[in-house]
Structure formats: C-alpha cells, structure tokens
Amino acid sequence: MPKFIRKNLQGIEFVHVTTHGIDDKYIYESTREKKEIRKLILQNQEEFNITIMSYCIMNNHLHLLIKFKNPEDLSEYMHKVNTSYAIYYNKQHERVGYVYKNRFYSQIIKDSIHLMNGIIYIHNNPVKAKICDTAKEYEFSSYQDILSGRWKETMSLFRSKNQYIEAHMKNNHTILYSVDFEKVTLEEGKEIFNQYLENNRLDGELIKEQKEQLYEICKELKEIYKITYRDLEKITGVGRETIRRLLIKKNNNRTYL
C-alpha cells in the first residue's frame, strides 16, 4: 500500500482513524482475527511513538483514536499494522491480493470535548450495530481496559469511573459525535484516486468505461472526502455531469440494510 501522509495533520495531536476491508469484507470476523489485529494495534505503539487512546474492532472495519506527534509516524504505524495483518489474513485464508479498501480515513480531533466524545462514539459502535446493548459488553474494544485503570491517560479525560460509565450509556452517545472525515485537497484527491487504481490494478483511461469501479471511487471521494463534482472531473478525466448521473443512478438502484 503506497504511503499517504495527510498534509493538514501538521500541528494536530489526536486523530480518529478507521480502516475498512476491501469490498467491505469481514476481515476481522473470527475471534482469532480480532485478537490478531488487536495485538498488532497495541504492540506497535512504542516503535512509532504513538498512543492508542481508544479502539474498537468490528467485523469489517476498525476504529482507532490515536495520539501522535508526527504525521509521518502515524502513516508509518498504520502501514505497519495493515501490512502485517494483510499478510496474516491472506495466509490464514490461503488467498492473495489486497485486504484493505484503499488507505485509512482520518478525522481531526479538535479539542478535549471532541476527544472524549470520539472515545465514547468508538466504544458504542457495537451498540449502534445492535451487537450488544451496552459498550461494556463488547470484548474487542478498549472500554474495559480504560475502566480498569490500565489506560490512565484516557481515563484522565473523565471526572471519575462513574462519569465514564454514564457517558457511554445508550441514551447519551448518539448526539455527542458525528463522523465527518476531513475534506482533502485536489492534489490529495488525485493521490487517493491513483492509489485506488494501483490497488485494484486498473488503468486510468480504461476505468472511464468500467462503471462499477468508477462509481466506487467517485462515491468514496464525494461522500467521505467531500470532493466536489468539479474536482472529480479533474481527478478522473470524466465529465462532472456524467459522474453526477452515475452516482444518482447507482444510489437509486442499490438497497441498503
């Protein structure tokens, strides 16, 4: 996976990161797989001078809230974790090819309240997905690690253990935090697009005729990275009205769970 360093992470201390399996596959489906990615997440912190403030491992994606000093360290850390896990996953499933859907997505954490609410949001992912009724029931998140007192820096954001528990209650978490990954520049959009082509072994000219692949990358650039239709035209070489019609048509034809 090519390295991609967000230019606007300079001077930022905390970031919410998420990664997804390619084609939204369940790459962390089994208990063994969840334990493996958790091991990689935690054991690589010191090498890259980052601190995990919270995490949650779902079946097809992963949430991390990371404290870091250097954006390059963050990028190298994610590259190491994802590459190591991809090797493990492919070996376990006797397959070859890409495991992850492009690069990781990042959201800047703006202040201490945003940080605290991001932690709550991440722990409540399984509740939102109706896997469990409360965050404390889910094994593969940092909820219990923090509550036990082992993660002192994260717990210090809360007044007490009782406040930590109450803040995670089902009726409180939904309005505190929304995922809104940072808008990227035109140049960063081009880099993401080129990485998508490389990951999927696609030709930049031929993708114009491959409607499904064109839809997937344009949908991601538009919805996650907030790229305008004007810039999508510059990035892909496809007319903005063609892209707009493709996205509307595909969205109308798809059924979402």
d(CA 118, CA 65): 7
CA distances from 41 to 79, 119, 148, 209, 248 (A): 11, 16, 19, 39, 38
DSSP letter for 21, please: B
What per-residue confidence (pLDDT) applies to 28? 95
What per-residue confidence (pLDDT) applies to 204? 81
Helix (H) or strand (E) holding 31: helix 31-43
What per-residue confidence (pLDDT) applies to 11? 66
pLDDT tens digits for range 88-144: 999 999 998 888 876 677 888 888 888 998 999 999 999 988 999 999 999 999 999
> pTM of the entire structure?
0.69
Q: What angle do CA 44, 4, 209 make, to 5 degrees?
A: 130
d(CA 240, CA 190): 15
Show Cβ contacts of residue 159 under 8 Å, excluding neighbours closer than 6 positions. none
Taking each helix axis from N to C end, the angle separating 211-223 and 229-236, rounded to the nearest 10 degrees, works out to: 140
What per-residue confidence (pLDDT) applies to 40? 97
Closest CA to 136 of 163, 165, 103, 162: 165
What per-residue confidence (pLDDT) applies to 201? 80
d(CA 203, CA 220): 18
Closest CA to 175 of 225, 105, 120: 120
Show Cβ contacts of residue 253 under 8 Å, excluding neighbours closer than 6 positions. none
Low-confidence ranges of the chain (pLDDT < 50): 1-5, 7, 173-175, 254-257
**Are the C-beta atoms of residues 206 and 105 closer than 8 Å to each other?**
no
Task: Specify which residues 134 forms β-bridges with.
Answer: none
